[in-house]
Amino acid sequence: MARGSPQDRPSVRRQTLEPAAGGTATGPVRIGDVHPSLVGWTLSISVSEASNSVPTVRLTCRDQWMDGPGSVEFGDSNAGISVTRGGRLWVPYPTIDVVAAETGASVGSGTTIRILGYPVLCGEVPTGSPFALGFSSDDETGAGVTTNFAVPAGASHYYVGPSNSNGGPLEVKVQDSGGIVFDFYEMDLGSSVAPGLVVPTPWRPVPPLVGASAGAVTVKNTNGSGVAADEITVWWRFSLDDLR
Protein backbone atom coordinates (compact mmCIF):
# COMPACT_ATOMS: atom_id res chain seq x y z
CA MET A 1 0.00 0.00 0.00
CA ALA A 2 1.44 3.36 -1.01
CA ARG A 3 2.29 5.67 1.83
CA GLY A 4 -0.07 8.63 2.09
CA SER A 5 -3.23 6.77 1.07
CA PRO A 6 -6.25 7.35 3.32
CA GLN A 7 -5.89 3.87 4.85
CA ASP A 8 -2.36 4.45 6.15
CA ARG A 9 -1.98 5.45 9.78
CA PRO A 10 0.62 8.23 10.21
CA SER A 11 3.79 7.02 11.88
CA VAL A 12 5.14 8.27 15.20
CA ARG A 13 7.26 11.37 14.65
CA ARG A 14 10.59 11.96 16.41
CA GLN A 15 12.27 15.34 16.66
CA THR A 16 15.17 16.79 18.66
CA LEU A 17 15.87 20.44 19.49
CA GLU A 18 19.02 21.86 21.07
CA PRO A 19 18.50 25.51 22.10
CA ALA A 20 21.71 27.48 22.59
CA ALA A 21 22.52 29.81 25.48
CA GLY A 22 21.55 33.44 24.89
CA GLY A 23 17.90 33.07 23.97
CA THR A 24 18.22 32.63 20.19
CA ALA A 25 15.43 30.39 18.91
CA THR A 26 16.26 27.21 17.04
CA GLY A 27 15.05 26.56 13.55
CA PRO A 28 11.63 24.90 13.32
CA VAL A 29 11.02 21.17 13.21
CA ARG A 30 7.73 19.81 11.90
CA ILE A 31 5.38 17.16 13.22
CA GLY A 32 2.54 16.69 10.75
CA ASP A 33 0.67 14.68 8.15
CA VAL A 34 -2.17 15.18 5.66
CA HIS A 35 -4.09 12.00 6.58
CA PRO A 36 -7.82 12.91 6.22
CA SER A 37 -8.73 11.45 9.64
CA LEU A 38 -5.83 13.01 11.56
CA VAL A 39 -7.08 15.49 14.18
CA GLY A 40 -3.88 16.15 16.14
CA TRP A 41 -0.89 14.82 18.02
CA THR A 42 -0.01 13.83 21.56
CA LEU A 43 3.49 15.19 22.12
CA SER A 44 5.65 13.34 24.64
CA ILE A 45 8.42 15.74 25.65
CA SER A 46 11.57 14.93 27.63
CA VAL A 47 14.42 17.32 28.44
CA SER A 48 18.09 16.86 29.30
CA GLU A 49 19.11 20.19 30.79
CA ALA A 50 22.35 22.11 30.94
CA SER A 51 23.21 23.97 34.15
CA ASN A 52 20.74 26.82 34.91
CA SER A 53 18.71 25.97 31.84
CA VAL A 54 15.08 27.15 31.48
CA PRO A 55 14.01 25.83 28.05
CA THR A 56 10.77 26.79 26.32
CA VAL A 57 9.06 25.87 23.06
CA ARG A 58 6.79 27.78 20.70
CA LEU A 59 4.19 26.10 18.52
CA THR A 60 2.83 27.17 15.14
CA CYS A 61 -0.20 24.99 14.39
CA ARG A 62 -2.28 24.62 11.26
CA ASP A 63 -4.73 22.38 9.45
CA GLN A 64 -3.06 21.46 6.16
CA TRP A 65 -5.83 19.19 4.90
CA MET A 66 -8.11 20.62 2.17
CA ASP A 67 -6.44 24.07 2.33
CA GLY A 68 -7.32 24.62 5.98
CA PRO A 69 -7.28 27.98 7.78
CA GLY A 70 -4.16 29.97 8.62
CA SER A 71 -1.77 29.14 11.43
CA VAL A 72 -2.39 29.57 15.17
CA GLU A 73 0.59 30.36 17.41
CA PHE A 74 1.24 29.45 21.04
CA GLY A 75 4.20 31.27 22.60
CA ASP A 76 6.53 33.87 21.12
CA SER A 77 9.66 35.88 21.99
CA ASN A 78 7.84 37.40 24.99
CA ALA A 79 7.23 34.00 26.63
CA GLY A 80 7.09 30.42 25.44
CA ILE A 81 5.68 27.17 26.78
CA SER A 82 7.80 25.91 29.65
CA VAL A 83 9.12 22.36 29.13
CA THR A 84 11.64 22.17 31.98
CA ARG A 85 10.02 19.07 33.49
CA GLY A 86 8.77 17.51 30.28
CA GLY A 87 5.43 15.73 30.02
CA ARG A 88 2.62 15.11 27.54
CA LEU A 89 0.73 17.75 25.58
CA TRP A 90 -2.35 17.27 23.39
CA VAL A 91 -2.17 19.51 20.32
CA PRO A 92 -5.44 19.38 18.29
CA TYR A 93 -3.88 20.33 14.95
CA PRO A 94 -2.63 18.02 12.17
CA THR A 95 0.54 20.06 11.53
CA ILE A 96 2.82 21.56 14.20
CA ASP A 97 6.03 23.53 13.74
CA VAL A 98 8.12 23.63 16.92
CA VAL A 99 10.99 25.95 17.82
CA ALA A 100 12.86 26.04 21.13
CA ALA A 101 14.63 28.81 23.04
CA GLU A 102 16.74 29.04 26.19
CA THR A 103 15.38 31.66 28.60
CA GLY A 104 17.57 30.89 31.61
CA ALA A 105 21.18 31.73 32.42
CA SER A 106 22.30 28.52 30.77
CA VAL A 107 25.99 27.71 31.16
CA GLY A 108 27.47 26.61 27.85
CA SER A 109 25.44 24.16 25.78
CA GLY A 110 23.95 20.77 26.38
CA THR A 111 20.19 21.20 26.73
CA THR A 112 18.37 18.71 24.52
CA ILE A 113 14.60 18.56 24.00
CA ARG A 114 13.29 15.29 22.59
CA ILE A 115 9.76 15.09 21.21
CA LEU A 116 7.76 12.04 20.23
CA GLY A 117 4.57 12.82 18.33
CA TYR A 118 1.82 10.19 18.53
CA PRO A 119 -0.95 10.64 15.91
CA VAL A 120 -4.55 10.91 17.09
CA LEU A 121 -7.22 10.06 14.51
CA CYS A 122 -10.90 10.99 14.46
CA GLY A 123 -12.78 9.13 17.19
CA GLU A 124 -9.67 8.36 19.27
CA VAL A 125 -9.05 9.75 22.75
CA PRO A 126 -5.79 11.73 23.20
CA THR A 127 -3.67 10.93 26.26
CA GLY A 128 -2.13 14.37 26.89
CA SER A 129 -3.47 17.60 28.39
CA PRO A 130 -4.34 20.59 26.13
CA PHE A 131 -3.06 23.02 28.81
CA ALA A 132 0.47 24.37 29.13
CA LEU A 133 2.22 27.02 31.21
CA GLY A 134 4.77 29.75 30.59
CA PHE A 135 6.01 32.74 32.54
CA SER A 136 7.56 36.20 32.33
CA SER A 137 9.68 37.62 35.17
CA ASP A 138 11.21 40.90 36.27
CA ASP A 139 14.03 40.73 38.84
CA GLU A 140 13.08 43.92 40.67
CA THR A 141 10.29 46.49 40.43
CA GLY A 142 11.35 49.63 42.31
CA ALA A 143 8.95 51.85 44.25
CA GLY A 144 6.75 53.77 41.84
CA VAL A 145 8.07 51.75 38.90
CA THR A 146 5.74 50.23 36.31
CA THR A 147 6.65 47.04 34.44
CA ASN A 148 4.84 45.86 31.32
CA PHE A 149 4.51 42.14 30.58
CA ALA A 150 3.41 41.61 26.98
CA VAL A 151 0.83 38.86 26.56
CA PRO A 152 2.43 36.07 24.50
CA ALA A 153 0.76 34.66 21.41
CA GLY A 154 -1.93 32.11 22.19
CA ALA A 155 -2.11 32.73 25.94
CA SER A 156 -5.66 32.50 27.29
CA HIS A 157 -5.19 33.43 30.98
CA TYR A 158 -2.67 35.08 33.31
CA TYR A 159 -1.79 35.13 37.01
CA VAL A 160 0.48 37.63 38.82
CA GLY A 161 2.64 35.82 41.38
CA PRO A 162 5.21 37.89 43.33
CA SER A 163 7.82 35.77 45.06
CA ASN A 164 7.80 37.50 48.49
CA SER A 165 6.23 40.30 50.53
CA ASN A 166 8.79 43.05 49.85
CA GLY A 167 7.48 46.34 48.51
CA GLY A 168 3.96 46.82 47.27
CA PRO A 169 1.07 47.15 47.21
CA LEU A 170 1.08 46.19 43.54
CA GLU A 171 -1.34 47.83 41.13
CA VAL A 172 -2.24 45.46 38.32
CA LYS A 173 -3.84 46.71 35.11
CA VAL A 174 -4.61 44.63 32.02
CA GLN A 175 -5.39 46.32 28.72
CA ASP A 176 -5.50 45.48 25.05
CA SER A 177 -3.23 47.09 22.47
CA GLY A 178 -5.83 49.81 21.90
CA GLY A 179 -5.67 50.93 25.55
CA ILE A 180 -9.03 49.50 26.68
CA VAL A 181 -8.74 48.27 30.31
CA PHE A 182 -10.13 44.78 30.95
CA ASP A 183 -8.90 44.21 34.50
CA PHE A 184 -7.71 46.49 37.32
CA TYR A 185 -6.98 45.60 40.96
CA GLU A 186 -4.45 45.97 43.79
CA MET A 187 -2.41 43.26 45.54
CA ASP A 188 -1.27 43.87 49.13
CA LEU A 189 1.99 41.94 49.55
CA GLY A 190 2.00 42.54 53.33
CA SER A 191 -1.25 40.65 53.89
CA SER A 192 -1.20 37.42 55.88
CA VAL A 193 -3.34 35.94 53.12
CA ALA A 194 -1.46 34.68 50.08
CA PRO A 195 -1.73 37.47 47.48
CA GLY A 196 -4.39 36.94 44.86
CA LEU A 197 -5.52 33.57 46.13
CA VAL A 198 -9.27 34.15 45.96
CA VAL A 199 -9.60 30.72 44.40
CA PRO A 200 -7.03 27.88 44.37
CA THR A 201 -5.63 28.96 41.00
CA PRO A 202 -6.71 32.55 40.31
CA TRP A 203 -6.45 32.58 36.54
CA ARG A 204 -7.86 35.66 34.83
CA PRO A 205 -8.56 35.94 31.08
CA VAL A 206 -6.22 37.99 28.90
CA PRO A 207 -7.67 40.70 26.62
CA PRO A 208 -8.86 39.78 23.13
CA LEU A 209 -6.46 40.11 20.23
CA VAL A 210 -6.45 43.54 18.59
CA GLY A 211 -4.49 43.60 15.36
CA ALA A 212 -1.31 41.62 15.97
CA SER A 213 -1.14 42.24 19.73
CA ALA A 214 -2.97 40.79 22.74
CA GLY A 215 -2.00 43.71 24.96
CA ALA A 216 -0.12 43.62 28.25
CA VAL A 217 -0.30 43.01 31.98
CA THR A 218 1.04 46.15 33.68
CA VAL A 219 2.33 45.88 37.26
CA LYS A 220 3.14 49.02 39.27
CA ASN A 221 4.82 48.98 42.69
CA THR A 222 2.98 51.74 44.58
CA ASN A 223 5.13 51.49 47.72
CA GLY A 224 5.58 54.96 49.27
CA SER A 225 8.66 54.09 51.33
CA GLY A 226 11.03 53.41 48.47
CA VAL A 227 10.97 49.62 48.92
CA ALA A 228 11.43 47.57 45.75
CA ALA A 229 9.27 44.54 45.02
CA ASP A 230 11.46 41.54 44.27
CA GLU A 231 10.93 39.12 41.39
CA ILE A 232 7.50 39.81 39.94
CA THR A 233 6.40 36.84 37.84
CA VAL A 234 3.41 36.68 35.51
CA TRP A 235 2.29 33.14 34.72
CA TRP A 236 0.60 32.41 31.40
CA ARG A 237 -1.82 29.61 30.67
CA PHE A 238 -2.10 28.27 27.12
CA SER A 239 -5.31 26.40 26.26
CA LEU A 240 -4.58 24.74 22.95
CA ASP A 241 -8.19 23.63 22.36
CA ASP A 242 -9.88 26.96 23.18
CA LEU A 243 -11.50 29.28 20.64
CA ARG A 244 -10.33 32.80 21.50
- Evaluate whether 13-130 and 133-239 have a shared fold: yes
| pLDDT tens digits, 86-139 | 999 999 999 999 999 988 765 556 789 999 999 999 999 999 999 999 999 887
Mean pLDDT of the chain: 84
CATH architecture of the domain 13-130 equals: Sandwich (2.60)
pLDDT in tens, 170-187: 888 999 888 899 989 888
Q: What is the CATH number of domain 133-239?
A: 2.60.120
Do residues 78 and 154 touch, judged by C-beta distance below 8 A? Answer: no
Q: Which residues of the chain have pLDDT under 50?
A: 1-2, 4, 192-193, 199-200
Could you give the CA distance from residue 75 to residue 92 in angstroms, rounded to a whole number? 16
Nearest-angstrom CA–CA distance, 46 and 110: 14
Exposure string for 89-125, b = 16+ CB within 10 A, e = fewer = bbbebbbbbbbbbbbbebeeeebbbebbbbbbeeeee
- How big is the CA angle at 216 (ends 211 and 218), to the nearest 5 degrees? 155
Predicted TM-score (pTM) of this structure: 0.87
Of 234, 171, 162, the C-alpha closest to 204 is 234
Residue of 188, 22, 213 lying closest to 101 (CA atoms): 22
Domain ranges of the chain: 13-130, 133-239
